[in-house]
Amino acid sequence: MTTHNPRQRILQFLPSLSPDMFMPGRVGLSAHFPFNDPTVRYFYDARTAIYQWARQWNSGDWEILFPSYFEGVELNALLAAKVRPRFYPVHRNMRVEPAEVLRCLGPKTKAIYLIHYVGFPGPVQELSVACRARRLLLIEDCAQALLSNCAERPLGSFGDVAIFSIRKTLPVPDGGALVAGTNGACNLPRTQPSPLTPAVAYAAASLRRHFDLREEHVNRWILRKMADIGKLVFPRSSAWGPARRESIFDPAQATWGMSCLSRTILNGQDPENIIERRRRNYLHMRSLLSRRAKPLFEELPSGVCPWSYPLQVDKKEVFLSRLLESGVEGVNSWYANHPAVPKGVFHESEELRRTVIQLPCHHDLDDADIRYIADQVNKLLEDTHGP
């Protein structure tokens, strides 16, 4: 059984690399969407993918319906491409009502942007029908929904355009995918090779974490050199720095492609195992958390590959800080309000920003890890709300 000493190791939010991912012979992800789509294009990350597509298709007078609850970097990429957003409501439990979205349509609306939060499908079936009837484009943001399905169909395959952030789900240093079919993916500019040094630094730090977390024996000189590479390239970051870039959009990276190291790592993934373990960890977490930890999603539908376990808490910055002190890294889910969103209009979206954190439930965690995370969360909830 895994033992945890929070002073020595942290249960990270994202999965780590393991040596077997570099072994040849696996089918990998080539049989799964979006990797098996003939129109898929790879970029350094998802934000550059949507920027390049919007920049090509924007006529200078585009308006796009955009959810009021979002990270920020995806909107910044669209704004850089001169797309004008009009916002629609997102309710508690990250719920989107199709009828409300359609009531927000304006005379210059050309597309609807739908985010599949935490891997759970939004109302994509209803909106895809409505968009076809109105000759609008439907853009699916699957940044957190890689490997998730809806009605036995992969998310990202319902709309006209879909973007994926590969590095948010899989242990790769970089990687975004765009599927646009007949809507211009083949006409996008060619990408350039991304810098190799950050990718190597990421792999070094991630492998080191893999060995440390499992207390496996490995050459100490190699580990030290791995740490030196990470500190040299990312002097202000933790060992996880390469994968935790700030949520900013840099047009200078818009022509970068996915690194060859990421492509190699993808070939070593086992998608069925990833989906099964993430679902098991999610359900295990839900079964262990106290009644004070009300889940945002009541059920885990068939086909969903959960990206994280979302939870609503009071004083979430304090909660996350204390969680990290106990050895668990959570994510502060989209805290700041974007200046483009009018204040005081979307109250439920603002509440989500104030209260939602995301707990790790990825496939790199075992049962002991999930029990430890749930124990720490329950203790913090008891301290906050009393017995």
Is residue 37 within 8 A of residue 31, CB to CB? The reply is no
pLDDT tens-digit profile of 194-251? 777 676 667 666 666 666 665 555 554 555 565 565 555 544 443 334 334 556 777 7
Given a cut of 70, whether residue 30 has pLDDT beyond it is: yes
Query: Does some domain include residue 262?
Result: no
Q: What is the pTM of this model?
A: 0.88
Provide, rounded to the nearest whole percent, the portion of the chain with pLDDT above 70.
79
pLDDT digits over 140-196, tens only? 999 999 999 999 999 999 999 999 999 999 988 899 999 997 766 667 777 777 777
Residues 166 and 291 in one domain: no
The domain boundary, picked from 154, 187, 220, lies at 187
180 and 282, same domain (yes or no): no
Q: What is the CATH number of the domain that holds 149?
A: 3.40.640.10
16 — pLDDT class (breaks 50, 70, 90) = confident
For residue 85, the model assigns a pLDDT of 96
25 in any annotated domain: no
Q: What is the CATH number of the domain that holds 367?
A: 3.90.1150.10
Q: Quote the CA–CA distance of 120 and 101 in Å, as a whole number.
A: 18
Q: Does any domain span residue 125? A: yes
Give how far the C-alpha of residue 229 lies from the chain's centroid of Cα atoms, to the nearest Å.
26
Question: Cβ neighbours of residue 2 under 8 Å, at least 6 residues apart?
Answer: 213, 214, 366, 368, 369
- pLDDT tens-digit map of 339-373: 999 999 999 999 999 999 999 999 999 999 999 99
Name the domain boundary from 187, 220, 238. 187
Distant-in-sequence, close-in-space partners of 95: CB < 8 Å, separation ≥ 6: none
Assigned domain for 24 exists = no
Distance CA 174, CA 167 (A): 5
Range of the domain at 355: 271-385
* Structural domain includes residue 252: no
Based on the domain organization, do 163 and 281 belong to the same domain? no
The two tokens of residue 201 are: 């630094």
DSSP string for residues in 149-183: EETTEETTSSSSEEEEEHHHHSS-S--EEEE-TTT
What residues does 109 pair with on adjacent strands? 63
pLDDT tens per residue across span 89-132: 999 999 999 999 999 999 999 999 999 999 999 999 999 999 99
In three-state secondary structure terms, 254 is: coil
Show which of 162, 187, 212 is a domain's final residue: 187
**Phi, psi at 220, each rounded to 5°:** -65, -30
Looking at the structure, tell me whether residues 48 and 176 fall in a common domain.
yes
Number of domain units in the chain: 2
Domain identity same for 59 and 154:
yes
Does a structural domain hold residue 239?
Answer: no
In a domain, 132, yes or no: yes
On average, the pLDDT of the chain sits at: 84
Q: Cβ atoms within 10 A of the Cβ of 280, count?
A: 15
Local confidence band at 15 (pLDDT 50, 70, 90 cut-offs): confident
Instruction: Give the DSSP per-residue string, 45-81.
Output: SHHHHHHHHHHHH--S--EEEEESS--SHHHHHHHHT
Rounded CA-CA distance 144/242 in Å is 18
Q: For residues 178 and 41, is the Cβ–Cβ distance under 8 A?
A: yes
Question: So what's the pLDDT on residue 240?
Answer: 37
Tell me, yes or no, whether 283 and 171 share the same domain: no
Indicate if 171 and 277 belong to the same structural domain. no
Closest CA to 143 of 125, 127, 120: 120
318-340 tens-digit pLDDT:
999 999 999 998 887 787 789 99
Short-list 196, 304, 212, 185, CA closest to 256: 196
Looking at residue 150, what is its pLDDT?
97
Q: Is residue 81 located within the same domain as residue 174?
A: yes
Same domain, 178 and 59: yes
331 closest CA partner among 314, 310, 313, 350: 310
Per-position DSSP letters for 352-375, written without gaps between them? HHHHEEEE---TT--HHHHHHHHH
Tell whether 350 is covered by a domain: yes
d(CA 42, CA 61): 27
